[in-house]
């Protein structure tokens, strides 16, 4: 076997081991998982998640996922907790411990302190019979038969299992809270993801010039309007209402078909019943319409009146596409 084949073989073996471990997790779920979710959902406090080593890294990711989906959470490193950070735990907070073995020295020191404070404890551990498993109020079993590491030492499969259980917790809580896409947008205002959730058509079209001509506009007036407004299109408007659209393509097709263009007006060239979208619609809905009808511009309307144009380039610029 050559080097590339060996590498691919190892990678596939790693993926298979972790896939099988994740699949096995569903068989380890018990009523304790549901009870732990209900405990967090009904709590007046926050979720404090702690761990040591690689488990601590997983804890930070779970904290981030919970916070972004409506469940207030704080990361507390187990080592730092016993050197002053224990003070961040408040009366109604729930503490989640993440530990594969459930027997690390820091965990053994920290658990009695949490019990003395009477905070509820949830354990995410691969050993229910461990010290942590015996002391916690709820145990979420993340047992794995072996790590993907060939020496069965480096946390690989076990940390993946911890991560998946954390995601399962977050999604269950999300559904209990009825967490909607609008709620999600509040917590993700930045980047392309946030823009897909909160950016509206008016946020884009209001930045563009507003090309429009009347139905009796001459061919020259139409060409000048399209050229000056630089969107490759103009609306044909009568008493503020959209009655048609003229695109660069419409002009080219008209010029190729007509022998006499001197008497043509906008109403002779325009396409009737153009695609339009409300300025209050989400920008991502404009994207869907453009894709569905294979067009690059949409006219924008507000309360039955022409309000502007949104262009495919606007969506690209904002990262919607």
Integer Cα distance of 38 and 60 in angstroms: 22
Among 108-117, 149-158, 208-217, 295-304, where is mean pLDDT lowest? 149-158
Instruction: Check if the beta carbon of residue 318 is closer than 8 Å to that of residue 249.
Output: no
Closest by CA position to 295, among listed 232, 230, 214: 232
Please give the pLDDT value at position 133: 95
Burial (CB count within 10 angstroms: exposed 0-12, middle 13-18, buried 19+), residue 53: middle
The radius of gyration computed from the CA coordinates of the chain, to the nearest angstrom, equals 30
Query: Measuring CA to CA, how many Å separate 168 from each of 15, 27, 125, 237?
Result: 20, 14, 15, 53
> Residue 151's pLDDT is what?
87
How far is it, in rounded angstroms, from Cα 45 to Cα 56?
A: 21
DSSP string, 239-308: TTEEEEEEEHHHHHHHHHH-S--TT-BHHHHPEES--EEETTSBHHHHHHHHHHHT-SEEEEEETTEEEE
Question: What band does 257 get if pLDDT is binned at 50, 70 and 90?
Answer: confident
129 band by pLDDT with thresholds 50, 70 and 90? very high
Cα 220 to the chain's mean position, in Å? 47
* Rounded Cα gap, residues 125 and 139, in angstroms: 7
The first and second tokens of residue 16, run together, are 């298979």
Going by their DSSP bridges, the two strands 271-272 and 297-302 should be labelled as: unpaired
Question: Per mean pLDDT, which range of 33-42, 76-85, 166-175, 312-321 is the poorest?
Answer: 312-321
Give the pLDDT band (50/70/90) at residue 197: low
């Amino acid at each position: 076997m050559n080097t590339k084949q060996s590498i691919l073989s190892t990678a596939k073996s790693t993926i298979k081991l972790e896939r099988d471990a994740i699949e096995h997790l569903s068989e380890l779920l018990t009523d304790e998982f549901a009870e732990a979710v209900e405990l967090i959902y009904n709590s007046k406090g926050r979720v404090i998640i702690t761990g040591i080593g690689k488990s601590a890294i997983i804890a930070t990711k779970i904290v981030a996922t919970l916070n972004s989906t409506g469940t207030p959470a704080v990361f507390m490193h187990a080592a730092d907790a016993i050197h002053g950070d224990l003070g961040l735990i408040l009366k109604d907070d729930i503490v989640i411990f993440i530990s594969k073995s459930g027997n690390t020295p820091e965990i053994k020191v920290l658990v009695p302190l949490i019990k003395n404070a009477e905070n509820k404890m949830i354990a995410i551990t691969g050993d229910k019979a461990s010290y942590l498993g015996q002391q916690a109020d709820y145990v979420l079993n993340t047992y794995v038969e072996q790590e993907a590491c060939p020496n069965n030492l480096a946390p690989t499969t076990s940390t993946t299992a911890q991560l998946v259980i954390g995601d399962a917790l977050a999604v269950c809580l999300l559904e209990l809270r009825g967490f909607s896409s609008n709620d999600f947008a509040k917590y993700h205002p930045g980047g392309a993801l946030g823009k897909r959730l909160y950016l509206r058509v008016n946020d884009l079209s209001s930045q563009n010039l507003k090309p429009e001509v009347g139905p009796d506009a001459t061919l020259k007036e139409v060409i000048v309007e399209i050229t000056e407004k630089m969107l490759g299109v103009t609306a044909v408007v009568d008493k503020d209402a959209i009655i048609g659209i003229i695109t660069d393509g419409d002009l080219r097709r008209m010029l190729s078909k007509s022998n006499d263009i001197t008497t043509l007006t906008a109403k002779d060239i325009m396409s009737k019943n153009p695609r339009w979208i409300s300025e209050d619609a989400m920008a991502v809905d404009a994207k869907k319409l453009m894709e569905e009808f294979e067009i690059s511009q949409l006219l924008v309307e507000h309360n039955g009146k022409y309000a502007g144009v949104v262009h495919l380039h606007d969506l690209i610029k904002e990262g919607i596409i």
